[in-house]
């Protein structure tokens, strides 16, 4: 059985949102906390529309979540429930557009920004797929729009594997792969089902509590030490990073801007190795080098910025989509001028954060936050998001050539949402390229072109560690 088959079996099987997903779904009462994700693939050509539709028909048949909408229990008394859309129409979810003659890649990003900022129809499954034609060199683009409540970055790549594996096969229409739709769930039924599940889980919870009590009784000293260790860790991870927010990046808006950067994977790894760090350390060092240059260019230098790094807690080979991540908050060492030293400093910070017993503190806080009214969720979650000047994510992608509806995928750029912060920058490796999607708030970065040129310079500085043969960082323009 191949990876895509394994992914299909478990993707999106949970009937209700977990606490983190509930927070993201309900926080959108504040429009600056929109949780829309975009996966943008550059294709070597435009696939035939019939093949494009057939690919999605097969994917919808394999992944029931794609046919499910969100049902909110009355008064928000329970978690949102996933339910089969009784009026599901694939036609609504598939779009096709052609850019004007002579369009550049920036025209594609502008179109993707508008797709991302258009709210989902909450009466339907929260996803859309758009085929964009008319790109330079006869290329096309696939723009997949998902709600973050459906899945995280790693889960999105799992779904992309399903789509890549769902290319039309001669002699088969995929009908035999379709799963029978489940009965739709009403709001009151969702509330009742969760109440029943809670009642059924009470005996097992009591048994777990008994097991914990037995362990405490058997070794009270160890239990006390573990509890204190976790409590001190929780205090550390919940405290703001020792860095004040940048005075240049205080404004927030609903105006996202997209840009895409290509970096040679082998060169970035080589640069990291020179400094004894990981690819992720070198990646973040380049971003912080860009931040330093931007602040210096505008006459407001800073020594450190508060930043956050989503860390996947998904086990190797674990499918299932959904959201499985923790968040490490750091004081990004912008003021460390030397690129090698900055990589070392970042590596130390990230290792320390990963070692915290309370790293997955969001799993503790989210259930409490999720029970609040939506406006309160938005206020608290927004405050947490706005406390960071940068969020940076790194997700391993495919090292093998893949196709969508028969067209070859040349690049895959991830554009994660802005959870109240000025910029969310995400790296996905594809073949031998680091595909970096930059999403920044136009109100925070008032000099957008300057910001992008500073980021490019930050990568150039880090890549120089790999020697004169290192590849360059290039924007898709």
Confirm if 184 and 81 have CB atoms less than 8 A apart: no
Check residue 315 and give its pLDDT.
72
Fold of 238-392+425-475: Chloramphenicol Acetyltransferase (3.30.559)
Catalytic residue among 56, 93, 147, 148: 148
Ranges for all domains in the chain classified under CATH 3.30.559.30:
238-392+425-475
pLDDT value for 458: 98
pLDDT of residue 199: 47
In angstroms, the Cα distances linking 289 to 282, 305, 359, 429 are 10, 12, 26, 21
Max distance between CA atoms of the chain, in angstroms, equals: 75
Residues of the chain with CATH 3.30.559.10: 3-172
Q: Is 148 a catalytic residue?
A: yes
**How confident is the model at residue 11, as a pLDDT?**
82
pLDDT digit string, tens, across residues 82-107: 999 999 999 999 999 999 998 999 99
User: What's the pTM value of the predicted model, to 2 decimals?
Assistant: 0.86
pLDDT of residue 241: 81
What superfamily in CATH does domain 3-172 come from? Chloramphenicol acetyltransferase-like domain (3.30.559.10)
Contacts of 419 (CB under 8 A, 6+ apart): 33, 35, 381, 384, 385, 391
pLDDT in tens, 101-129: 989 999 999 999 999 999 999 999 999 99
What pLDDT is recorded for position 191? 45
**The 3-state secondary structure of 284-334, one letter per residue:** HHHHHHHHHHHHHHCCCCCCCEEEEEEEECCCCCCCCCECCEEEEEEEECC
The per-residue pLDDT for 288 is 98
pLDDT at residue number 319? 62
Positions of the chain with pLDDT under 50: 1-8, 169-179, 188, 190-191, 194-195, 198-210, 212
């Amino acid at each position: 059985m191949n990876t895509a088959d394994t992914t299909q079996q478990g993707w999106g099987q949970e009937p209700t949102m977990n606490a983190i997903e509930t927070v993201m779904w309900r926080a959108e009462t504040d429009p600056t906390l929109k949780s829309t994700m975009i996966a943008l693939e550059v294709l070597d050509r435009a696939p035939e529309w019939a093949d494009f539709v057939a690919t999605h028909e097969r994917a919808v048949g394999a992944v029931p979540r794609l046919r499910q909408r969100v049902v909110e229990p009355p008064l928000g008394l329970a978690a949102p429930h996933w339910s089969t859309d009784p009026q599901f129409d694939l036609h609504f979810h598939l779009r096709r557009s052609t850019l004007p003659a002579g369009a550049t890649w920036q025209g594609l990003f502008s179109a993707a920004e508008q797709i991302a900022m258009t709210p989902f129809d909450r009466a339907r499954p929260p996803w859309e797929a758009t085929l964009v034609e008319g790109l330079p060199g006869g290329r096309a683009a696939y723009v997949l729009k998902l709600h973050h409540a459906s899945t995280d970055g790693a889960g999105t790549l799992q779904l992309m594997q399903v789509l890549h594996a769902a290319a039309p096969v001669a002699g088969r229409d995929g009908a035999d792969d379709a799963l029978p739709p489940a009965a739709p769930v009403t709001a009151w039924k969702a509330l009742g089902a969760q109440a029943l599940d809670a009642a059924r889980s009470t005996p097992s919870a009591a048994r777990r509590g008994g097991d914990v009590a037995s362990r405490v009784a058997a070794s009270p000293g160890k239990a006390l030490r573990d509890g204190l260790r976790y409590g001190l860790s929780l205090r550390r991870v919940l405290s703001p990073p020792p860095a004040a927010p940048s005075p240049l990046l205080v404004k927030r808006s609903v105006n996202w801007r997209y840009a895409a950067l290509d970096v040679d994977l082998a060169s970035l790894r080589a640069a990291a190795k020179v400094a004894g760090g990981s690819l992720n350390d070198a990646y973040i060092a380049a971003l912080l080098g860009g931040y330093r240059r931007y602040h210096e260019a505008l006459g407001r230098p800073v020594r450190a910025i508060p930043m956050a790094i989503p860390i996947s807690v998904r086990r190797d080979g674990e499918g299932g989509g959904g959201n499985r991540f923790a968040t490490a908050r750091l004081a990004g060492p912008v003021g460390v001028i030397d690129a090698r030293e900055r990589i070392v400093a970042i590596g130390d910070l990230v290792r320390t954060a990963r070692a915290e017993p309370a790293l997955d503190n969001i799993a503790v806080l989210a259930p409490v936050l999720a029970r609040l009214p939506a406006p309160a969720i938005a206020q608290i979650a927004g405050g947490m998001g706005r406390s960071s000047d940068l969020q940076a994510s790194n997700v391993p992608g495919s090292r093998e050539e893949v196709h969508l509806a028969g067209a070859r995928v040349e690049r895959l750029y991830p554009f994660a949402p802005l959870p109240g912060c000025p910029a969310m920058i995400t790296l996905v490796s594809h073949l031998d390229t680091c595909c970096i999607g930059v999403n920044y708030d136009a109100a925070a970065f008032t000099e957008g072109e300057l910001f992008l040129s500073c980021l490019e310079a930050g990568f150039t500085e880090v890549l120089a560690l790999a020697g004169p043969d290192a590849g360059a960082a290039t924007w898709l323009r």
